[in-house]
């Protein structure tokens, strides 16, 4: 029979780390919590969502935009060109405009929606903390990410008319 008091103690310890109740550097004998890649990307997606909600007010007030550095220098878009436009459109509920700007926003949004409950479930001890991926799984993820980036880049080239002869 498992020791329920010990499990509660570990759950409390884990929750304390998530909530930042310990001062920096004080690990109180517990393992430092690491975030998985999906949690990090989802957290980034949450920040993008907040930024997309606030960005129009800033640009409308100042008239300042945020150009893609690669496109500004070379004239060639990067794979994430249009992500700001897509995020703002998605936050405004304009899914078609978001897709037209950059379809990758939907993957980022899905991770952002999923990461909140995932972090809460891990913080409360319902789910175990993430474990490092074995080399085979990392290679699988790389084999998935590179074609997605290439597809996004080709989409941007087509969307912006780079593939058409002048």
pLDDT, position 30: 54
Concatenating the DSSP letter of every residue in 113-152 gives HHHHHHHHHHHTTSSPPP-PPPHHHHHHHHHHHHHHHHHH
Q: Is residue 23 part of a domain?
A: no
Q: Is residue 166 part of a domain?
A: no
Structural domain boundaries enclosing 131: 36-159
Q: Is residue 74 part of a domain?
A: yes
Please tell me the distance from the alpha carbon of residue 57 to that of residue 117, in angstroms, as a whole number: 29
Q: Is residue 22 part of a domain?
A: no
pLDDT tens for the 166 residues of the chain, in order: 444 444 555 555 555 555 555 444 555 555 555 777 778 888 888 888 888 888 888 887 787 777 888 888 888 888 888 888 899 899 999 999 999 999 999 988 998 888 888 888 888 888 887 877 788 988 898 898 899 889 988 888 888 887 665 5
Q: Cβ distance 53 to 69 under 8 Å?
A: no
Q: Is residue 51 part of a domain?
A: yes
Number of domain units in the chain: 1
Please name which of 87, 118, 119 lies closest in space to residue 102, comparing C-alpha atoms: 87
Q: Is residue 28 part of a domain?
A: no
Hey, CA dihedral for 50, 51, 57, 58, is it positive or negative?
positive
pTM listed for this prediction: 0.66
CA atoms within 13 A on the CB side of 43: 9
Structure-block tokens of residue 120 = 């809460």
pLDDT, position 22: 47
Q: Is residue 5 part of a domain?
A: no
pLDDT, position 165: 52
Q: Is 69 exposed, middle or buried (0-12, 13-18, 19+ CB in 10 A)?
A: exposed
Q: Is residue 129 part of a domain?
A: yes
């Amino acid at each position: 029979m498992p020791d329920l008091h010990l499990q509660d103690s570990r759950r409390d310890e884990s929750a304390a780390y998530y909530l930042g109740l310990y001062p920096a550097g004080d690990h109180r004998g517990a393992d430092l919590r690491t975030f998985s890649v999906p949690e990090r990307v989802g957290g980034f997606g949450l920040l993008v969502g907040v930024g997309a909600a606030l960005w129009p007010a800033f640009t409308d007030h100042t008239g300042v935009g945020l150009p893609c550095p690669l496109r500004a220098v070379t004239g060639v878009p990067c794979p994430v060109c249009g992500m700001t436009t897509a995020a703002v459109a998605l936050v405004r509920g304009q899914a078609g405009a978001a897709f037209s700007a950059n379809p990758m926003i939907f993957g980022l949004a899905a991770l952002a929606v999923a990461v909140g409950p995932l972090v809460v479930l891990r913080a409360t001890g319902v789910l175990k903390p993430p474990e490092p991926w074995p080399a085979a799984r990392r290679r699988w993820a790389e084999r998935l990410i590179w074609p997605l980036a290439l597809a996004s880049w080709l989409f941007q080239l087509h969307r912006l008319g780079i593939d058409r002869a002048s």
